[in-house]
Amino acid sequence: MSTNYIGVNSTVSDQLGGYGDIYDPTTGHYYDFYQITNVAPGYELNISLNSNNFDTSLYIYNASTNEFVGYDDNGGGATNSQLSFTPVFGDQDSYYAIVTSAGPSSTGYYDISVY
């Protein structure tokens, strides 16, 4: 698993289905993983995932508890994703944002923001 990083109060532009991306042949989806850095526990985070190329889906995963703490498909308007969650003290370095598409075999450019 190749992991990228995104800090709080920043935006990353990347490509789903780009070189080195994870592809799961059982679901037909590409995935990009981001560890969220500079997290302050107890303060709500808002994550936005926008693309003009594909219908986005966004998951938030807590690697400490091994649980998904959030999922959104179209909460960001049109086919874009947006969700909020409040990081728990002690798990502030354990949160991952997982970028993928709603349907299979989708690729293209996107922006992910954490605020």
Positions in the binding site for Ca ion (CB under 5 A): 55-56, 73-74, 79, 102
Judged by CB, which is closer to Ca ion: 62, or 74? Answer: 74
Query: Of 87, 8, 83, whose CA–CA distance to 44 is shortest?
Result: 87
- Beta bridge partner(s), residue 56: 101
Judged by CB, which is closer to Ca ion: 6, or 58? Answer: 58
Minimum distance, C-beta of residue 81 to Ca ion, in the bound complex (Å): 5
Minimum distance, C-beta of residue 57 to Ca ion, in the bound complex (Å): 6
Query: Of 94, 27, 26, whose CA–CA distance to 60 is shortest?
Result: 94
- Beta bridge partner(s), residue 44: none
Judged by CB, which is closer to Ca ion: 35, or 74? Answer: 74
Minimum distance, C-beta of residue 50 to Ca ion, in the bound complex (Å): 10
